[in-house]
Amino acid sequence: MLKVGLTGGLGCGKTFVAAELERLGCHVIHADLLGHEVLARESGAVVALLGPSILTDGGQIDRASLASIVFEDPAKLAALNAIVHPAVRRREDEILSAMAYLDPHAIGVVEAAILIENGSYRDYDRLIVVWCEPAIQLERAMARDPAVVARLASQMPVLEKRQYADFLIDTNGTKEDTLRQTREVFLSLATIEKGI
């Protein structure tokens, strides 16, 4: 099985590219979704770290409140990452192992924002970096969440991430152009997998 990391900056189009790779036949794991599961399971440790103000009235973790705290405080972000990331990585590994058992010729793709920052990009056979110009990235990210600047600051600049890529997908243009590039990358990955 070919293990592929898919990363890029917030607002660059990772999820759009992941959806197309999945449509083309890749098995996609979304690290954010696994992170939500881990947050729910480890809520006691997270509340102990950040306090009860991050809870909703129903006792669930309010991710917006959590983000407003950790993305303003690098030490708290690092402590939260120490709780969440190892558990997410273990779950990713379990899923990838199950995929490899069920389909030895699969292309397993892990979509995650900080594969490079946390060093896990080294665990993949290939790395795709989805990127766009920083001004476009900021515009897209702020359209989703006006309070996103601190979160962007916690990530490696997207132009810097490009140097780690085996494949680059430039999302500065149209959606059709992004889809075309994604299909080209998929065909390359399929060729590589056949050679393994």
Domains and CATH numbers, the chain: 2-32+85-191 (3.40.50.300)
Task: For residue 76, give both structure tokens.
Answer: 């708290």
pLDDT tens for 132-144 read 999 999 899 888 8
Q: Which residues of 20-53 are buried (b: 16+ CB within 10 A; e: fewer)?
A: bbeebebbbbbbeebbeebbeebeeebbebbeee
pLDDT tens for 2-61 read 999 999 998 999 999 999 999 999 999 999 999 999 999 999 999 999 999 999 999 899
Task: For residue 43, give both structure tokens.
Answer: 């809520």
Cα 11 to chain centroid distance, Å, stands at: 11
The backbone region for 108, taken as left when phi is positive above 0, alpha when psi lies in -120 to 50, beta otherwise, is beta
Three-state SS for 175? helix
Cβ(167)–Cβ(129) under 8 Å? yes
Q: How far apart are the first and last CA of the chain?
A: 8
Torsions phi, psi of 58, nearest 5? -85, 0
- Say what percent of the chain tops pLDDT 70: 100
Taking residues 94-98, what's their average pLDDT? 96
Three-state SS for 156? coil
For the chain, the average pLDDT equals 93
Task: For residue 186, give both structure tokens.
Answer: 């998929």
Cβ(139)–Cβ(14) under 8 Å? no
